[in-house]
Structure 1
């Protein structure tokens, strides 16, 4: 483990487009993790699944755009909440010591003001949706608020992330149809197990640091037994997604394309190396493509 001390502002690094932002804005972009878009993708994709499942036959481009912007905004809000909870822990972990709150680059008051701005933008987007989707969106604030504290009290924070991060499945379905149906909840369950799997891979990057600072995770809980646990999670993902497709009356093309996603997930299980942080990071990021293939499978099942 490399115990880190808070970094001065000059040590805060940004990549890509974030690095080109004005200096005064850059810390807020880093706080919202705009330099790491994989989290936004993984928040957006369940919403895309829900929109596709409720689409007739294509997802509404306007709704896809709203959910895309909403994913950027609400992922940012979630990161602010997470960093407010974790700023003391983050200072003690090498990978997170440079975050704007942990490093002192931003104050708690500045972070709270930024959080309010993000939530207001999120509200403006939410009000464009159906009543059922609005009610679901309001309800999502509860798991968003409590998730960051779960790593302190349970070995299963990844499960709480699964509940929170995949709220977009029923929301997307409700936005597309104005109502909810059992297949939307089955697809939500599929997404839950998907997140439980990929976030366990992600947590292996910080397993040793987490043990020393007292943070719990399924990575620490399962350790060397992670591979069979991951296989079970991903098998549940594929089987539940297939069941949701059957309930929704999707065509044969859905199962053919879903098979590609299943193969991609199986590859993650086969190549997992829990002591190789770089590989864990690559496998985690590979789930963006898995999510896109599942969305394509749903659309294919509607249009082919």
Structure 2
């Protein structure tokens, strides 16, 4: 036990664990949840049933939380040099790396218990999802665009949803995953733009640094590619006017994001990132309501 951990009351300790998993900042797991639920609705052709809805909603929250534990342990030496992350519990020593990893493992096991209530193919794919979750925190050291790795991790709920509903992963699931990857690239580059100055000092690799002055146009283009791929991929599903109205609303949000990030201010970029869960919700709502109207 470190000096920072000594004498911490149980209630305060619980608060530190909630801070570790970003409980007060749900945007992270919402960004993971909306494309997963979209995939679930598409795979099922509408409401997938309460069992799968509960499994994927709780599983998303648990795995996102486990990912936070792993990420904070991996980045604890870097985080102390970044304004936004310097006070994270693992970075300050209030929670040890061992404790954080143990808590993350517990959360991942709970998520796996939920997956076990589905089918064999979903269980098999869950190991691939876990592997990507473990790899991402270290990708920032070696990959110039680690946001692409995060894109795969944050999109993997889509093929798993198809596996749970259809006991297979059709080509459509992978097309939707690729499309969603562009959305993740867009919003996580906005996130990286917030920390660009600090990341340059400590040698962290991010898409914001790699893209340089092309960051704003690439972010905007990535949003458009995401919506284009999903629109084309779902044409055969005849989702109708409701879905395309949702696309139009999402496009309006992209314009808003552009106005927030074009000056590259920390406040504007962080606000744009935090607002992304509304874009994801818009896409999901369009899909879900379109199936209701059919």
TM-score, normalised to structure 2's length?
0.92
Q: Distance in 2 between matches of 1:184 and 1:243?
A: 13
SS at match of 1:303: helix
Show the counterpart of 1:125: 114
Q: Distance in 2 between matches of 1:143 and 1:302?
A: 32
* Structure 1 position 111 matched with structure 2 position 100: yes
Aligned positions, number: 289
TM-score, normalised to structure 1's length?
0.89
CA contact (8 A) 1:254 1:301 kept: yes
* Structure 1 position 217 matched with structure 2 position 186: no
Q: Distance in 1 between matches of 2:35 and 2:126?
A: 14
**Residue in structure 1 matching 2:171, options 178, 182, 185:** 182
* Structure 1 position 258 matched with structure 2 position 247: yes
State the 1:247 CA deviation. 3.6
RMSD of Structure 2 on Structure 1 (CA): 2.0
Q: Distance in 1 between matches of 2:269 and 2:128?
A: 32
* Structure 1 position 88 matched with structure 2 position 91: no
Q: Distance in 1 between matches of 2:46 and 2:60?
A: 23
Unaligned runs of 5+ in 1: 1-6, 13-20
Show the counterpart of 1:54: 43
State the 1:224 CA deviation. 2.4
Q: Distance in 2 between matches of 1:281 and 1:59?
A: 34
Q: Structure 1 stretch 86-95 or stretch 158-167: which is displaced more?
A: 86-95
Q: Structure 1 stretch 214-223 or stretch 190-199: which is displaced more?
A: 214-223
State the 1:9 CA deviation. 6.8
SS at match of 2:234: helix
* Structure 1 position 297 matched with structure 2 position 276: no
Q: Distance in 2 between matches of 1:23 and 1:58?
A: 40
Q: Distance in 2 between matches of 1:88 and 1:60?
A: 44
Q: Distance in 2 between matches of 1:32 and 1:275?
A: 28
* Structure 1 position 232 matched with structure 2 position 236: no
Show the counterpart of 1:29: 18
Cα pair distance change 1:9/1:284, threshold 3 Å: farther
State the 1:274 CA deviation. 4.9
State the 1:252 CA deviation. 3.5
CA contact (8 A) 1:101 1:107 kept: yes
Show the counterpart of 1:3: none
Q: Structure 1 stretch 150-159 or stretch 255-264: which is displaced more?
A: 255-264
Show the counterpart of 1:246: 235
Q: Distance in 2 between matches of 1:105 and 1:298?
A: 43
* Structure 1 position 101 matched with structure 2 position 90: yes
Q: Structure 1 stretch 274-283 or stretch 115-124: which is displaced more?
A: 274-283
Unaligned runs of 5+ in 2: none
Q: Distance in 1 between matches of 2:263 and 2:236?
A: 36
State the 1:76 CA deviation. 1.1
Q: Structure 1 stretch 193-202 or stretch 253-262: which is displaced more?
A: 253-262
* Structure 1 position 134 matched with structure 2 position 135: no
